[in-house]
């Protein structure tokens, strides 16, 4: 397989896992940029029924029934975690979640990278995990779902250090926006932070309340576009500070200021502060960093 996938002129140093020193098929070969790749990562092993479920049973739980989560992505590329099996009736290939992600990846106009910055976690004898779900108004499926229930929580310890791994995407999430035919699109990013006490490599559940999070909130974002489909304004608010039902909120109070955040590469670096309840857990400087760039 290695000889089949690698051209004769490849650079071994670029495709080698620095930990094992062996070839890593998750690393791109050649000049094609990894940023132009989207990996759909399936997290539902139970519904993969090929070979009477033997493959799923052998693989365990951190997979889609055939491909392990740790092997289902390309380094440097975007990822979308969806609760689908590898194939079959509940497979990711023909799923609505995959369609929604691919249509935006192929035909979207904006690429948004979401990162968690300024976080100060109490790491003394504690393991920190996060969960993320992304929903779009009018779409009857979550287009991104990385949770502990699906055996793929975000490893916040590794994310804090900037270490990209199977459970610690850096950035936290990459979203492709395709707001055509709708003047205003509403997105909901649900975030959850959980901590577990660890002593001598053993988790302690004595003070743990399952499934209560240390912090959980939903960022509501409205993207308004002009006649050409380009984003004209972006407004946001945390659900915990909204009064009443989300559907009743015609206008969100905070607007992203695009002008000062534009970089020399044509991207916008825009901070969104975490709500006060979240800062009490994550630190007073905790915020989401949105890196927004044109995508074509």
Shared-domain flag, residues 126 and 3: no
Residue given tokens 């709708």 in the structure block: 182
Comparing 24-28, 58-62, 171-175, 280-284, the range with the smallest average pLDDT is 24-28
Structural domains in the chain (count):
2
Shared-domain flag, residues 271 and 134: yes
Count CA atoms closer than 13 A to 154's CA, side-chain side. 26
Say if residues 194 and 129 touch (Cβ distance below 8 Å): yes
Q: Is there a domain that residue 155 lies in?
A: no
Q: What is the predicted pLDDT for the residue at 235?
A: 92
pLDDT in tens, 236-270: 999 999 988 988 888 999 998 766 556 656 678 88
Comparing 12-16, 72-76, 88-92, 247-251, the range with the smallest average pLDDT is 12-16
Shared-domain flag, residues 135 and 254: yes
Q: What is the predicted pLDDT for the residue at 270?
A: 86
Q: Is there a domain that residue 69 lies in?
A: no
Q: What is the predicted pLDDT for the residue at 294?
A: 82
Shared-domain flag, residues 123 and 224: yes
Q: What is the predicted pLDDT for the residue at 49?
A: 86
Q: Is there a domain that residue 212 lies in?
A: yes
The per-residue DSSP string of 72-107 comes to SS-TTSEEEEES-BSSSTTBSTT-HHHHHHHHHHHH
Q: Is there a domain that residue 90 lies in?
A: no
pTM: 0.88
**CA 224 vs CA 10, 80, 186, 200: distances in Å:** 45, 24, 9, 51
In this prediction, residue 130 has a pLDDT band, given cuts at 50, 70 and 90, of: very high
What does pLDDT average to over the chain?
84
Q: Which residue has the higher pLDDT, 253 or 31?
A: 253
pLDDT in tens, 185-236: 899 999 999 988 877 776 767 776 777 899 999 999 998 876 665 667 889 9
Shared-domain flag, residues 230 and 129: yes
pLDDT in tens, 156-186: 877 666 667 776 666 889 999 875 566 788 9
Shared-domain flag, residues 27 and 124: no
Say if residues 217 and 242 touch (Cβ distance below 8 Å): no
For 253-261, which contacts have Cβ atoms below 8 Å and span 24 or more sequence positions?
256/290, 258/234
Q: Is there a domain that residue 111 lies in?
A: no
Q: Is there a domain that residue 104 lies in?
A: no
Cα-Cα-Cα-Cα dihedral sign, residues 257, 160, 281, 219: positive
User: If you ran DSSP here, which 8-state letter would residue 246 be given?
Assistant: G
Q: Is there a domain that residue 89 lies in?
A: no
Shared-domain flag, residues 254 and 136: yes
Q: Write out the residue range of the structural domain in which residue 14 sits.
A: 1-32
């Amino acid at each position: 397989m290695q000889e089949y996938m690698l051209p004769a002129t490849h650079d071994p140093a670029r495709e080698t896992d620095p930990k094992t020193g062996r070839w890593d098929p998750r690393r791109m070969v050649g000049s094609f940029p990894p940023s132009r790749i989207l990996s759909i990562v399936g997290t539902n092993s139970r519904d993969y029924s090929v070979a009477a479920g033997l493959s799923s049973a052998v693989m365990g739980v951190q997979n889609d029934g055939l491909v392990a989560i740790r092997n289902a992505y390309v380094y440097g590329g975007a990822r979308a975690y969806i609760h689908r099996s590898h194939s079959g009736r509940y497979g990711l290939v023909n799923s609505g979640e995959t369609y929604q992600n691919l249509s935006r990846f192929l035909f979207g106009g904006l690429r948004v990278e979401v990162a968690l910055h300024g976080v100060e976690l109490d790491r003394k004898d504690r393991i920190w995990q996060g969960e993320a779900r992304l929903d779009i108004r009018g779409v009857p499926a979550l287009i991104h779902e990385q949770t502990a229930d699906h055996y793929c929580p975000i490893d916040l310890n590794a994310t804090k250090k900037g270490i990209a791994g199977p459970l610690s995407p850096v950035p936290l999430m990459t979203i492709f926006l395709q707001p055509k035919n709708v003047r205003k699109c509403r997105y909901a990013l649900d975030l959850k932070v959980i901590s577990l006490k660890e002593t001598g490599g053993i988790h302690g559940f004595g003070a743990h309340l399952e499934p209560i999070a240390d912090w959980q909130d939903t960022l509501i974002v409205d993207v308004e576009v002009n006649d050409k489909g380009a984003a004209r304004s972006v407004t946001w608010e945390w659900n915990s500070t909204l009064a009443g039902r989300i559907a009743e909120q015609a206008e969100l109070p905070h607007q992203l200021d695009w002008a000062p955040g534009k970089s020399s590469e044509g991207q916008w670096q825009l901070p969104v502060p975490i709500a006060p309840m979240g800062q009490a857990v994550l630190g007073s400087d905790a915020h989401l960093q949105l890196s927004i760039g044109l995508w074509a």
